[in-house]
Amino acid sequence: MANIILIAAAGAGKGTQARLLKEKYNIAHISTGDLLRDIASSGSELGKEIAEIQKSGLLVSNELTLKILLERLEDSDCKNGFILDGYPRTLEQAKMFEEAVAGTNKEITNVIVLDVPKDMLMQRITGRLTCKACGEIYNEYFDNFVKEGTCNKCSGELFKRSDDNEEAFNKRYDLYLTVVKGAIEFYKGKGILDVVDASISKSYTFSQIEKILEDKND
Ligand code: AMP
C-alpha cells in the first residue's frame, strides 16, 4: 500500500510523475483542484460558491476540501493506495488529514518533494508550448521542431499559456514556497519525507521515486 503526497512547484513535472505512478502501482491520482472543479461545474449552489473561490485564487475551506477528499478516498480505485496532488496546501490541512485518517489504511506512507532549481523551472515554464490540436507539450528552448510553430506529431498550431510568463511564474513560485513550507517540515519530522532531484530527466526522477517506494514499502 502506497499513500503518497507529491509536492512540487509549477513546472517540476508533478503531472508526469503522478501519471507514471498511477500506471505502475495501480493507485488513484487525486487532484483536489480537479475534484473541486468538478463540483464547481455542476451548477449547484455549492458549486457556484466553489467556482467563485477558485476564480479568485483563494483556498476553499479546509473542512469542505477535507470532506470531499475523504469521500473520494472511499472509491474502489483507492484500494491499493493513492497519490494526492494539490493537498495538503497548508500545515493545518496536513494536521487535519492526519487526524481524520489516523488508524485507517489511508494514512500517508510517503511524501515526495520534486526538487528543481528555480531558474530551470523558469525556463521550463516560460518556454512551454502546447499543441492546440493534440495537447502535446514542448519547450522552445530544449526541443527541435520540424516546422517552427507547429506540432511535430500532428502539425497543429503551438501556443503559449497566458500564465506561462516570468511575472506570473514568480508569483506562483513565491506562493508555493510560503504555503508548502509548513507542510514539508511537518512530514520531515515524521520521517516519511524524501526529496528527489527532478532536474535531470523524467525517467531519472521516476527511478528515484520507485527506489524510495520499494525500499520503504516492502
Ligand atoms: P489547483 O488545480 O491545484 O491549482 O487548484 C485550483 C484551485 O482549487 C485553488 O486555487 C483553490 O481554490 C482550490 N483548491 C485546490 N486544492 C485545494 C486545497 N487543498 N485546499 C483548498 N483549496 C484548494
- The Å distance, Cα 47 to ligand 1 centre, comes to 14
| Residue 158 resides in a domain | no
Range of the domain at 194: 2-116+169-217
137: in domain: no
Closest ligand 1 atom to residue 37 Cα is 8
**Per-residue pLDDT tens over the stretch 156-210:** 999 998 778 898 889 888 888 887 888 889 999 999 999 999 999 999 999 999 9
Helix (H, G, I), strand (E, B) or coil at 171: helix
pLDDT at 172: 82
What is the rounded CA–CA span in Å between residue 2 and residue 25?
Answer: 8
Q: Which pLDDT score, from 0 to 100, does residue 74 have?
A: 97
Please indicate, yes or no, whether the overall pTM of this predicted structure exceeds 0.75: yes
Is 37 annotated in the active site?
no
pLDDT at position 129 is 93
Q: Per the domain annotation, does 31 fall within a domain?
A: yes
14 is catalytic: yes
Which residues sit with their C-beta closer than 6 Å to ligand 1? Answer: 31-33, 36, 53-54, 57-60, 65, 86-89, 93
Would you state the pLDDT for residue 218? 56
Look at residue 168 in the predicted model and tell me its pLDDT: 84
Residue 202 lies in a domain: yes
CATH number at residue 80: 3.40.50.300
Q: Could you tell me if residue 123 is inside a domain?
A: no
Residue 146 counted as domain residue: no
What is the best residue among 34, 55, 67, 89 to mutate for testing ligand 1's pocket, by most ligand atoms within 8 Å of CB? 89
| Residue 114 grid coordinates | 520534486
Determine the distance separating the centroid of ligand 1 and the alpha carbon of 109, expressed in angstroms.
22
Is residue 15 situated within a structural domain?
yes
Structural domain count, the chain: 1
Query: Residues in the chain with pLDDT < 70?
Result: 217-218
Active site residue 124: no
Integer-rounded Cα radius of gyration of the chain:
18
Per the domain annotation, does 160 fall within a domain?
no
Select from 1, 10, 23, 2 the least CA-distant residue to 206.
23
**Quick one: pLDDT at residue 174?**
87
CA of 10 to the centre of ligand 1 (A): 13
